[in-house]
Structure 1
Amino acid sequence: MPIEDSTEPYAQPLSGSQLKGANLAGRNLASADLRGADLSGANLTRADLSNANLQSANLSGANLTLAKLTNARLQGANLTGAVLKLANLSEADLREANLNGAVLMSATLFKTRLSHAFLKSANLIGAHLVYTDLNHADLTGALLTGATLEYANLTDANLRGANLTAAKLSYAVLKGVNFTGAIGFIRIAS
C-alpha cells in the first residue's frame, strides 16, 4: 500500500503491511495502526510516529534518526540494530521490545516503559532516560557512557559488562541490579 507524501496524519490502517526497506522519511504517521507491520530496513528519519501502534512490528535495521515516537506503543516490537539517534521516545511503551544492538545515542526516553526489554550491546551514549522504567531490562554490554538515568527504575535489571562511564544515576532505583563486570564511574547523588 503506497503512502502518499503528506504532512497530514495517515488515516488508513497499515497493520500487517509489508513496508520492508520503504522510504518513509519525514512522513506523518502519527496515530497510525502499524501493528505487526514489517518495516525492517525502512528509512523513517524524522518521521512522526507519535501515538502510533507498532506492537509486534518489525523495525530491525530501520533508520529512525530524529523520529518522533512519543506515546507510541511498541510492546514486543523488534528494533534489533535499529538506529534511533536523537529520536524522541518519551512516554513510549517498549515493554518486552527487542532493542539488541540498537543505536539510541542522545535519544530522549523520558518516562519510557522498557520493563523486560532487551537492550544487549545497545548504544545509549548520552541518552536521556529520566524516570524511565527499566525493571528487569537486559542491558548486558550496553554503552551508557554519559547517559542520564536519574529517577529511573532499574529494579532487577542486568547491567553485566555495561559501560557506565560518567552515567548519572541520581535517585535511581537500583534494587537487585546485576553490575557484574560493569565499567565506569557511577555517580549517585544523595
Structure 2
Amino acid sequence: MRELERYYRVLELQPGATLEEVNQAHKDLAFVWHPDRLPQNNQRLQQKALKKLKEINEARDKLRSLKTKKHRSLNNSSTPPKQPNYYKPSASYKPPASPQKQSNNSAPYQSSPPKQPSPPKQPSPPKVNSDLSGKDFSSANLSNKDLSGRNLSYANLSGANLSDTFMHKVVLRGANLSGANLFRANLLLADLREANLRSSNLIGADLSGADLRGADLRGARVRSGERLLVKLIGANLEGAIMPDGTVHD
C-alpha cells in the first residue's frame, strides 16, 4: 500500500486518482523533465532528468496496470491492456560528456518554451465623460448613479431625482439644483459654491466637508420638526443663504 501511495506522489496526485488523471499527470511531468528541454552541457541536470523520467514512467505503468486489471475484473473482459508509450529522449539526444571533455566554447542548450496562443483582445471600456459642465439634466432620473469627481458646474439639474446618488467631490459650482431630490445623496467634499439649492430636498444628504459658500438654500428641506437631518460636519457655509432666508456669517 505504501508503494502504491509512492506512485501517486511521484505523479503529484492524490490516492484514488482516475486513469485519465494519471495519464495527464504523466504527460505533464514528462514534458517538464524531458532532457531535451534542459541544457545539454549540464550533466547534473541531465542525470536528474533521466532519473525523474524513469520514476514517472514506472509510476504511470504501475498505476495504469493496476487500474486496468481492476476494470477488467469488474467488466469480466479478456481484452489485454495497451502497452504504455514511454517518454524517451529523442533519437538525436546524446548523453552529455563529462566536464573534463566538454569544450570551453560550448554554449548551453536553450529550449524555447512552447508558444501560447494570444488571448483574444478585450474591447476597451467606453470612456466616461467627466466634464458635464453646463449640461441640461433638468427633471432627469439620476437616482443611485455614481457622479463622483464629475464636473457639473453650471449644469441644469432643476427637478432632477438625485436620491441615493454618490457625488463624492463632485463640482456643482453655480449649478441649478432648485427643486431637486437629494434624499440621502452623498455630497461629501462637494463644490457647491453659488449653487442654487432652493426648495431642494436635502433630508438624509451628507454634505460633510462641502463648500457651500454663497449657495442659496432658501426653502430647502433640511429638518423634520426641530431635528436637523442633514450632515454638515466641516462644511463651509460662509455667505450661504440658509433655508430660513438668513445669511450665514
In structure 1, the residue corresponding to 2:230 is in which secondary structure?
coil
Question: CA offsets, 1:47-84, max 9 Å, x none?
Answer: 00000000100000000000001000010000000000
Residue number in structure 2 paired with 1:139: 242
What is the CA distance between 1:9 and its match in structure 2?
8.2
Which residues of 2 match residues 18-29 of structure 1 at below 5 A? Answer: none
- CA separation in 2, counterparts of 1:85 and 1:76? 20
Higher helix share: 2
Question: CA offsets, 1:95-122, max 9 Å, x none?
Answer: 0000000001011011000000000010
Which residues of 2 match residues 104-119 of structure 1 at below 5 A? Answer: 104-119=202-217
Residue 87 in 1 paired to residue 185 in 2?
yes
Which residues of 2 match residues 1-190 of structure 1 at below 5 A? Answer: 11-13=127-129, 32-125=130-223, 126-141=229-244, 158=247, 176=249
Report the CA distance shift for 1:10/1:110 in structure 2 as closer, same or farther (over 3 A). farther
- CA separation in 1, counterparts of 2:163 and 2:210? 17
Conservation of the 8 A alpha-carbon contact between 1:61 and 1:83? yes
- CA separation in 2, counterparts of 1:78 and 1:11? 26
Report the CA distance shift for 1:12/1:136 in structure 2 as closer, same or farther (over 3 A). same
Question: CA offsets, 1:8-60, max 9 Å, x none?
Answer: 986254xxxxxxxxxxxxxxxxxx21110000000000000000000100000
Letter in 2 for 1:141: D
Conservation of the 8 A alpha-carbon contact between 2:221 and 2:243? no
Q: Show structure 1 runs of 4+ deviating over 3 A.
A: none
- CA separation in 1, counterparts of 2:159 and 2:213? 22
- CA separation in 1, counterparts of 2:222 and 2:126? 30
Aligned pair count? 121
- CA separation in 1, counterparts of 2:127 and 2:194? 27
What is the RMSD of the two structures over their aligned residues, measured on CA atoms?
1.9
Percent of pairs identical after alignment? 42
Any stretches of 5+ residues in structure 2 without a counterpart? 1-123, 224-228
Residue number in structure 1 paired with 2:116: none
Report the CA distance shift for 1:10/1:45 in structure 2 as closer, same or farther (over 3 A). farther
- CA separation in 2, counterparts of 1:12 and 1:127? 30
* TM-score, normalised via structure 2 length: 0.46
- CA separation in 2, counterparts of 1:43 and 1:141? 28
What is the CA distance between 1:124 and its match in structure 2?
1.4
Any stretches of 5+ residues in structure 1 without a counterpart? 1-7, 14-31, 143-156, 160-175, 177-190
- CA separation in 1, counterparts of 2:194 and 2:158? 15
Residue number in structure 2 paired with 1:147: none
Structure number with larger C-alpha Rg: 2
Conservation of the 8 A alpha-carbon contact between 1:140 and 1:158? no
